């Protein structure tokens, strides 16, 4: 009955960045949300940013136990 599974979602604040028109460095899909607010650089870009899925893959590759969105443990 309790919403136990949704607690993880509530903890992590998501920033809506759909208006910034940022695309994923990996799959080139538009990124609408990030768990952090991207900082604009001097050249007007935001550096390399990745969508949720690609972020998850990269963290796995790097062996970081960030628990990004839960799921399979390394």
Give the footprint of Zn ion on this chain (CB under 5 A).
24, 26-27, 51, 54
Task: Report in angstroms how near the CB of residue 66 gets to Zn ion at its nearest.
Answer: 16
- The number of residues making up the chain comes to 74
Report DSSP letters for 7-31, one per residue: HHHHHS--EE-GGGT-B-TTT-PBP
Supply the minimum distance, in Å, between the C-beta of residue 53 and Zn ion.
5
27 vs 64, which CB is nearer to Zn ion?
Answer: 27
Q: Which is nearer to Zn ion, 9 or 24 (CB)?
A: 24
CA distance 23 to 29: 5
Q: How far is the CB of 7 from Zn ion (least distance, A)?
A: 26
Nearer to Zn ion, 19 or 32 (CB): 32
How many angstroms separate the Cα of 43 from the Cα of each of 7, 39, 40, 46? 38, 11, 8, 8
């Amino acid at each position: 009955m309790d919403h136990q599974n949704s607690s993880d979602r509530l903890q992590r604040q998501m920033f809506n960045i759909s208006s910034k028109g940022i695309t994923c460095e990996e799959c080139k899909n538009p990124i609408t949300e990030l768990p952090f607010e991207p900082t604009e650089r001097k050249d007007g870009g935001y550096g390399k940013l990745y969508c949720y899925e690609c972020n998850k893959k990269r963290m796995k590759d790097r062996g970081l136990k960030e628990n990004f969105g839960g799921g399979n443990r390394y």
